[in-house]
Amino acid sequence: MSPFFLNDEFFDSLESSIQEIEHANTLPPLCYTDATFFDFEKRALFDHEWLCVGREDWVPNPGDFYTTSVVNEPIVVVHDRDGTIRAMSSVCQHRAMLVAEGAGNTRTFTCPYHHWVYNLKGDLINAPAMEKTCNFHKETTGLPNFKLEIWHGFIFINFNNSAEPLAPRLTALEPILANYEIADAEGPAPDRDIQYSFSWKVMFENNNDGYHANRLHQGEYHDYIPSELAKFPESLPKETAGFYRTNGTLHKDASFNPTQKALMPIFPKLNEEERNRMAFANLPPSLSLVLTCDAVIYLILRADGPESHQLDLGVLFAKGAMDDPDFDKKMEMVVERALDINAQDIHVDELVQKGLRSRYAPRGRYSWQEGAQRQFNTWLVPRYRAQWEKMKRKGQ
């Protein structure tokens, strides 16, 4: 590892990013651009934080599977015949060939290279012509399984099998999410594996940034959700694994479509306050939720490099919404508006990434309307510092 940022001075400087918003600075630009820092970040975050890899309803039936990846680790998620959803490495334990591609339904995973066969638990059940190989044991040569937890229908994995459970660290989000009943919500197939050439943190910050909302998206796109009605919780539990903000709307039942009002059925348990605002819930480093009165948009971010990531993008509606004979027409209107807003966001994200590479890229100051960025920093910085302290103890 290059030592240029591995020093106490650098990590002490990050503390200014978690001060109160009126005093805080943005993170150093190298945190978004540098390959060596990304290697450090994988150890600080991705090796032991909970990572969203999909939805339970992506594998509704026994034998259903899909493949994905996070920080370039190939993963297969499968609905086992016993009803259990499992996630495991899709790397064959013979010569590292991938045993699964895409999605489908299967009884086993067969390596196409040498036909080693694994069951849906990852156990190796057939390895042709290995009978002469010394000290080879099928029972200890299965696909590595990952710790898995399902939260509101979202599938999370952890590469650290000793990790503490996720759900107890998300209690701060429950009052915001409860009335949407996301676990039972339904939606069309998501757009998956969208590739972007900017840091996952650039997109995560943009998803949570109320400051730009009716500036970049001014006019019919966002004026009915003004930035000055953004609210941030005064405090969150120190060990929280997620954070949120809310944003008042200028009319009841506002939603992202050309009519600016709900097209789909309202989530039936929403109260009056919830129908007069939107909410944005965030579970770094991999899941952002946009909650409106009739839709929950989810973004699953999958980092794969210092300046690139992949995205799975989907939308959920109240149970029964897809039975409406006009659902496809309404969905077309929702997608139309989403694509317009997304195009504006992606354009600025790409330009921000270019700017972050500049020798003149600053550690800027925040507006009060960027409170969610400070929340993100208060999640990131202690984890960066903990990894640095660990490295110092080990003399790395």
In the chain, list all ranges with CATH 3.90.380.10.
Answer: 169-381
**Of 242, 235, 266, nearest to 252 (Cα)?**
266
**Of 151, 154, 124, nearest to 138 (Cα)?**
124
The neighbouring-strand residues paired with 254 are 261
Q: Which helix (H) or strand (E) covers residue 287, if one does?
A: strand 287-291
Q: Which residue has the tokens 């999410």?
A: 177
Mean pLDDT of 217-240: 87
At 145-163, the pLDDT tens digits run 999 999 999 999 999 999 9
* Amino acid making up residue 202: V
- Using CA of residue 49, residue 371, residue 386, residue 1, what is the dihedral sign? positive
Q: How far apart are alpha carbons 153 and 266 in whole angstroms?
A: 19
Q: Is the pLDDT of residue 93 over 90?
A: yes
Is the peptide bond prior to 285 cis by the omega test (within 30 degrees of 0)?
yes
Q: What is the pLDDT of residue 241?
A: 87
At 190-212, the pLDDT tens digits run 999 999 999 999 999 998 888 99
Mean pLDDT of 61-70: 98
3-state DSSP: the chain helix, strand, coil percent, rounded to 5?
Answer: 35, 25, 40
Q: What is the pLDDT of residue 208?
A: 85
Q: What is the CATH number of domain 169-381?
A: 3.90.380.10
Binned at pLDDT 50, 70 and 90, residue 1 comes out as very low
Q: How far apart are alpha carbons 270 and 186 in whole angstroms?
A: 17
| CA 324 from centre of chain | 30
Which pair of tokens denotes residue 344?
């504006």
Q: What is the pLDDT of residue 3?
A: 62
* Stretch among 224-238, 265-279, 320-334 having the lowest mean pLDDT: 224-238
**Architecture in CATH for domain 51-150:** 3-layer Sandwich (2.102)
- Using CA of residue 89, residue 192, residue 149, residue 162, what is the dihedral sign? positive
Helix (H, G, I), strand (E, B) or coil at 189: coil
Mean pLDDT of 228-236: 85
Q: Which residue has the higher pLDDT, 174 or 239?
A: 174
Q: What is the pLDDT of residue 396?
A: 66
Q: Is the pLDDT of residue 27 over 70?
A: yes
Average pLDDT, the chain: 95
At 352-380, the pLDDT tens digits run 999 999 999 999 999 999 999 999 999 99
Q: Is the pLDDT of residue 41 over 60?
A: yes
Q: What is the pLDDT of residue 311?
A: 97
Is the peptide bond prior to 28 cis by the omega test (within 30 degrees of 0)?
no
In the chain, list all ranges with CATH 2.102.10.10.
Answer: 51-150
Query: Residue 261 gets which letter from DSSP?
Result: B
Rounded-to-10 torsion of CA 347, 348, 354, 360:
160
**Of 318, 282, 316, 317, nearest to 300 (Cα)?**
282
